[in-house]
């Protein structure tokens, strides 16, 4: 019997991207996987053909209400819902169902941090879905509940982690991430109108106010005994997709370019979705669009005594939907790379 997959919040950007990837998955092509219920809220009752005409193979489908009854009975349920809506559904679904949450509900282990940034009761934490973090792939393989990371912490963590884990830097990090507008989701918002974003850059949720700040701290603190401090600045750019992250931190004495490059190469040499660029190259968002790749560069700034760490990801693929499918593959024992493109779309 094929395993059946439901996508809640299917008409959002994350849900649509999950479906794009599933339709290209070899198990879907072979008949080992079936796409079951597609659910939404305000779009319930509307045809997929009108809402997501790019998904030609699903054009005869209709969006259903997001209820436990509709989602029950599937082997895998992806939750592409607004923050705060996943906990009740996750608790109600059978414990044998693989539930993969693309919202923030189960990312943070610290209840006080959750309450500070999200202002609601903490629902707990699930295994955290960055497989490239040492120890996480093993946890994901034995789980039926998975929390997909935020898009900023995905790109930023992959840029920074080898330096912190390898002791190249003091973990006092200044991080800037420039993001496309799709990261805000598919909702009506004046600040995201074309007239407001085209030809303009804007920093927002600055000085520690962004909700992904504690995720950065949580991720990096796993791999150092030192106190981790993060100054995170997100910047909105007139792009549909993509996140470019730059981070700097003070170098530890004796670290040169050769040592930094060797550390990163050893850390990511066996990772299929992280690519360390050659000397003189910098990550560009145009090279990762539509792919599950993270392009990374590391450079020693001898003049300032700091390390520069840079990455580029597609916020909807590696930053959300691709991570979700990658985690599904691991949890189900599939080939981890199945259905996940490594080649970007350019120009």
CA proximity to 242, closest of 306, 285, 294, 297: 285
- Cβ atoms 180, 242 nearer than 8 A: yes
- Cβ atoms 215, 234 nearer than 8 A: no
Rounding to the nearest 10 degrees, give the CA dihedral for residues 180, 186, 191, 195: 80
305: tokens are: 């005594």
Residue spans of beta strands (DSSP E) within the chain? 3-8, 33-40, 64-65, 76-79, 98-101, 145-147, 172-179, 202-203, 229-236, 243-250, 274-276, 294-301, 306-313
344: tokens are: 């970007």
Cα 33 to Cα 4: distance, rounded to the nearest angstrom:
6
Cα 305 to Cα 335: distance, rounded to the nearest angstrom:
42
- Catalytic residue among 102, 151, 294, 327, which? 151
* Known catalytic membership, residue 151: yes
Residue in the structure block whose two tokens are 């990837």: 21
Q: Hey, which residues are catalytic here?
A: 151
């Amino acid at each position: 019997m094929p395993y059946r997959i439901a996508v809640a919040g299917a008409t959002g950007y994350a849900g649509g991207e999950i479906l794009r990837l599933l339709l290209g998955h070899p198990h879907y092509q072979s008949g080992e996987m079936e796409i079951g219920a597609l659910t939404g809220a305000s779009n319930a009752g509307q045809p997929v053909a009108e809402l997501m005409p790019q998904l030609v193979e699903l054009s005869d489908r209709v969006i259903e209400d997001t209820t436990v009854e509709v989602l029950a009975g599937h082997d895998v349920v992806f939750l592409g819902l607004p923050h705060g809506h996943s906990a009740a559904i996750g608790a109600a679904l059978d414990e044998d169902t693989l539930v993969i949450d693309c919202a923030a509900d189960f990312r943070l282990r610290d209840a006080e941090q959750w309450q500070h940034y999200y202002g609601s009761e903490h629902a707990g934490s699930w295994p955290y879905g960055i497989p490239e973090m040492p120890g996480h792939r093993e946890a994901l393989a034995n789980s039926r509940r998975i929390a997909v990371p935020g898009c900023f912490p995905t790109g930023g963590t992959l840029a920074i982690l080898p330096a912190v884990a390898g002791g190249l830097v003091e973990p006092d990090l200044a991080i800037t991430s420039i993001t496309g507008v799709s990261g805000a989701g598919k909702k009506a918002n004046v600040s995201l109108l074309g007239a407001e974003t085209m030809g303009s850059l804007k920093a927002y949720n600055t000085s520690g106010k962004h909700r992904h700040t504690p995720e950065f701290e949580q991720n990096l603190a796993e791999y150092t005994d030192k106190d981790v401090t993060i100054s995170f600045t997100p910047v909105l750019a007139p792009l549909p997709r993509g996140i470019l992250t730059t981070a700097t931190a003070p170098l530890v004495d004796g670290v040169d370019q050769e040592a930094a490059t060797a550390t990163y190469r050893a850390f990511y040499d066996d990772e299929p979705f992280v690519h360390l660029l050659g000397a003189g190259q910098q990550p560009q968002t145009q090279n990762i669009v539509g792919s599950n790749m993270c392009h990374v560069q590391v450079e020693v700034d001898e003049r300032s005594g700091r390390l520069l760490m840079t990455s580029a990801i597609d916020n909807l693929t590696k930053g959300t939907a691709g991570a979700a499918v990658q985690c599904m593959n691991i949890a189900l024992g599939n080939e981890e790379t199945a259905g996940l493109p490594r080649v970007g779309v350019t120009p």
